[in-house]
Chains A and B, each alone.
Chain A
Amino acid sequence: MTGYLVAILTFVSLAVLIGFALNVQWGQAGMINFGLAGFYGVGAYTAAILSKQGVDGFTATVAAIALTAAISAVVSLATIRLREDYLAITTLAFSESVRLVLMNETWLTGGTNGIRDIPRPLVGLIGGQYYEAFFLALCLALVAIVYAVLDRIIRSPFGRAMRAVREDDVVAATLGKNVLALRVKAFAIGGAVIGLAGALHAYYFSYIDPGEFAGFITVYAFMTVIVGGKGSNRGLLVGACTVMVLLEGTRFLKDFVPFLSAQQAASLRLALIGAGLILILIYRPDGLAREYRLSVQNPSRPDANS
């Protein structure tokens, strides 16, 4: 039971990290990322491949963070002059391309067989017995650090400029803000956090394959952020826990409905998660917590959109 709890809390911390990343990119800078899964995969595979080559865990993680951040910056450059829809399309297409590379470049990624026996950092020092607990502590510490760093960024002038770009980039540009640089930086910061989460994923499971970096990761992340309240990192903690309870709760579905096969139970779970996302968007679009703001919320415009 303790083991199960430790595992769940580790999943929650990974979900929180991905949520933090999306919260910077989407919540703060207004840049939508439908390719989270691809960036996550880049982080995980970088860490895994380097570790298999004998690089130590710390260096490999730093490399994963750096590479994911750099790729995020490049991808965001491609759509910098356009509105969010195009970034959504580009990131999604990027994510699909990553999946293709992961599946087909067998010499590098092991193809659909994935990479197994990824060496876990410090396992010799800690010992296998306490490793799970140690890893959870490591994840929680990293969550705390990332939270603190992001909080500083959000409250800094850079954070304000980021939100200004999100609300109205023309005004921000008129006031002398370099919109392009701000967007690229915001996307790269998010990318760095995703890279970190990816590396942790690779070390935790010590086995990765392309199937783990499919669209559902992105859906989870969006659900976490929307439940928590877009833009609010504190709400995100609540959001991630809620989503994880839902995820884990639906896992027991197949115990109650014994006539379903494992695959059917899995699809039903994912379908319910998608439906949950839609219901939240309809009934609680602001999530549980609001973003930290100095001013009042602008009144919603009566809109003719159908």
Chain B
Amino acid sequence: MMQALLNGLVSGLLIALPAIALSLTYGILNFANFSIGAMITTGAYLAYIANTSFGAPIVLAAPIAAIVLALIAIAIQRGVYRQIRNADHVTLLVASMGVAFVLENVLRFFYGADVRTLDVPVARPLIWHGLRLNHEQLQIAVASLSAMAAIAFLLKRTRLGRAMRAISDDPDLAEVRGIERARTVDWTWAISGVLTALAGVMIALDGIVDPLIGMNYLVSVFAAAVIGGLGNPFGAVVGALIIGLVEETSALAVSTTYRQGISFVVLVLVLLMRPQGLFGAVRIRR
């Protein structure tokens, strides 16, 4: 049981990064980015390429993947989402699904459906009072917590963070106050790219790389972001921890293959009982 809680915590920390990314883009662009699963996968493959094709150690491959995915995310924003910014947000949803389709199949085109693994040294798990903690899990926890700290600092203390929060609160007012929207949006996508790439690398570290790894986390990430209140990055972290814990502890009773099914059930329950999420502002339009 304690082991399940520990695993759940780590898994929650992992889900938290893309959930924050989802919440940030939702808050600023007002649309749910359905390509986030494909972005996670892309991040994992980028790290895989840097790691195996160029022989970069993982501490170098992860930041490379993050930067490249950030650039890709900005390119997609400029090439796709900005082109249809005048359409309603449902059009953006559909477009993001198209983006996911393109990303996933481009990866499949070059790398096929084979299962791959990163080239990292295998280490013994740490054991403390009968609790096992893999080195991968430790890396996930450390990386995720530092990324979260960086995001919190960015949002609360920097000019960019203030601009992002302002646009998220009231885009028109932000515009009037002279906040450069296009630049802030680009930065939001860059941050989103960095976070999802890191999540992709962690998933790859802990397991395998294949074209569906991101898709396998999509429902959990959305459930986490919705529980936290879409658009609220700090709520997303709490939502992610809840989802991680529920998924891992439910594995004691239900087959692990239904991990996503559990998230689906949690998601529906939250939507029925508290649709604005645990920390969402009550601003939901009926």
B257 contacts A by Cβ under 8 Å: yes
For residue A34, which residues in chain B have a CB less than 8 angstroms away from its CB? 34, 93, 97
Closest to B76 in A: A278
Interface check A83, CB cutoff 8 A: yes
Measured between beta carbons, the chain B residues less than 8 angstroms from A96 are 215, 218-219, 260-261, 264
Asked whether any CB of chain A lies closer than 8 Å to the CB of B153, the reply is no
Quick one: given A83-B285, A85-B89, A278-B99, are A271 and B175 in contact (CB under 8 Å)? no
| A267 lies within 8 A of chain B by Cβ | yes
User: Dominant SS at the A interface?
Assistant: helix
Measured CB to CB, the nearest residue on chain B to A225 is B94
Tell me the residues in window 83-139 of chain B with beta carbons closer than 8 Å to chain A beta carbons: 83-87, 89-91, 93-95, 97-102, 105-106, 108-109, 112-113
Q: Does A215 contact B (CB under 8 A)?
A: yes
Give the nearest-CB partner of A219 in chain B.
B101
Determine whether B182 belongs to the interface, using a CB cutoff of 8 Å to chain A: yes
* Neighbouring B residues of A274 by C-beta, 8 Å: 98-102, 105
Number of interface residues of A (CB under 8 A): 53
**A263 CB-CB contact with B under 8 Å:** yes
A14 at the interface (CB under 8 A from B): no
Contact yes or no, A90 B267, CB < 8 A: yes
Interchain nearest-CB distance for A161 vs B (Å)? 16
| CB-based A-B contact count at 8 angstroms | 163
Instruction: Give the docked Cα–Cα distance between A282 and B85 (Å).
Output: 9
Q: What separation, in Å, do the CA atoms of A85 and B263 have in the docked complex?
A: 17
Is the C-beta of B31 less than 8 angstroms from some C-beta in chain A?
yes
CA A90 to CA B265, docked complex, whole Å: 10
Residues of chain B in range 156-209 having any CB-CB distance to chain A below 8 Å: 171-172, 175, 181-182, 185
Chain B residue total in the interface (Cβ 8 A): 60
- For window 261-280 of A, CB contacts with B under 8 Å fall at 263-264, 267-268, 270-271, 273-275, 277-278
| Complex Cα–Cα for A26 and B97 (A) | 15
Chain A stretch 69-112: residues in CB contact (< 8 A) with chain B: 78-79, 81-86, 88-90, 92-94, 96-97, 100-101, 103-104
Contact A226:B94 (CB < 8 A) given known A93-B219, A93-B222, A104-B258 = yes
Say yes or no: A300 contacts B109, CB within 8 Å.
no
Task: Provide the residues of chain B in CB contact with A277, threshold 8 Å.
Answer: 94-95, 97-98, 101
Please tell me if the beta carbons of A281 and B172 are within 8 angstroms of each other in the complex.
Answer: no
Q: Which residues of B contact A101 (CB under 8 A)?
A: 261
Q: Which residue of A lies closest to B172 (CB)?
A: A304
Q: Is the CB of B93 within 8 A of A92?
A: no
Contact B94 A281 (CB under 8 A): yes
Closest Cβ of chain B to A227, distance in Å, is: 12
Min CB–CB distance B33 → chain A (angstroms): 10
Smallest CB–CB gap between B39 and chain A, Å?
A: 14
Q: Which residues of B contact A226 (CB under 8 A)?
A: 94
For residue A2, CB closer than 8 A to chain B, the reply is: no
How far is B260's CA from A271's CA once the two chains are assembled, in angstroms? Answer: 26
**B286 and A304 within 8 A (CB):** no
Q: Is the CB of B80 within 8 A of A85?
A: no
Contact (Cβ within 8 A) B109 A268: yes
- Interface pair B223/A93, CB less than 8 Å apart: yes
Q: What is the CA–CA distance of A92 and B218 in the complex, to the nearest angstrom?
A: 9
Partner of B267 from A89, A216, A218, A305 at Cβ < 8 Å? A89
**A83-B284, A96-B215, A226-B94 are known contacts; what are 16 more A-B pairs with Cβ within 8 Å?**
A34-B34, A81-B284, A85-B93, A96-B260, A103-B257, A215-B101, A215-B215, A267-B108, A268-B109, A274-B101, A275-B102, A277-B98, A277-B101, A303-B85, A304-B181, A305-B30
Query: Which residues does A use to contact B, with CB under 8 Å?
Result: 26, 30, 32, 34, 78-79, 81-86, 88-90, 92-94, 96-97, 100-101, 103-104, 169-170, 173, 215-216, 218-219, 222, 226, 263-264, 267-268, 270-271, 273-275, 277-278, 281-282, 285, 300, 302-306
